[in-house]
Structure 1
Amino acid sequence: MKFTFVRFIMVGVVNTMVGLSVMYLLLHGPGLSYWMSTFLGNSVGACVSFFLNRRFTFRSDVSVLKGLFRFVMVILICYFLSFNMGKNLIHWLLINNNSITSKVKTDLAVLMSTFLYTMLNYISQKLLVFHKRGTLL
């Protein structure tokens, strides 16, 4: 399990590029809402993440069915916590700043939320989803 965080970040770069691309495409293309764009972008990135993290990052032997169920639960919880906290944090930090447009504030919220999501997701995946047999759950 050496270097799992480094491998997680490498996988995260790939799935974040995919997920953020989808988020911004949906946000600025058809103009979907913050929540819909971030949810769909994260869903696409999550598909990439599950398979890469299962084999490459954590080298887990957890069954796909069991791992996938836990993975989905973890990413949903991480998503709602992180993206709510990120949006609220940017709103709070920039509430009196009228020189920044609402679109830029939304873009900043997406970036802040993505950072929070990454940290919470790593810890949760390592401890709850892709753990080694005989440890934790």
Structure 2
Amino acid sequence: MCRISMIILLLIFQIPLVFASNGKEDVFVRKNKFGVEIGGSSLIMSTKYERILLNYNRHKTAVELGVGLLSLNTGINQLISFHQHHVELKMGALGTRMIYSDSIYYSFGVGYRFQKSHGRTAFQISCPINYGKNSGYFVNVGVSISRVF
């Protein structure tokens, strides 16, 4: 069942690439992002780095790495863009220190990002569903602000 779920999630993340347009008016000029997140997939607080890998007009794919107070997280983000407004689909994993009941959590969620194509600041609100073997499923809403370069 877990393998089927992962295959379905990977297909969902790749579907937007099929419909990507060749227009360049809404692509991100700056592809790196560094910021601070409170809550979300980092559980409490973290600093995150993100790099855009695929940068199309309406669809973008990025990878991120975050280091938190009690965690280390990594993930892949699929952005569906409507000019400076973006819907994010996130999938990732989170390693935590001994304070939590699980040492590894898996995360899947949606979010909203405000980032202009030529802008230098990004604001995000995310709502990931985290899963740990001992703690089960839980939602942890997060907010972040980032510098784009």
Fold in common (TM above 0.5): no
- With the length of structure 2 as denominator, give the TM-score of the two structures: 0.32
Q: Per residue, is there more strand in 1 or in 2?
A: 2
Q: Which has the higher helix share?
A: 1
Of structures 1 and 2, the one with the larger relative CO (CA 8 A, separation 6+) is 1
Q: Which has the larger radius of gyration?
A: 1
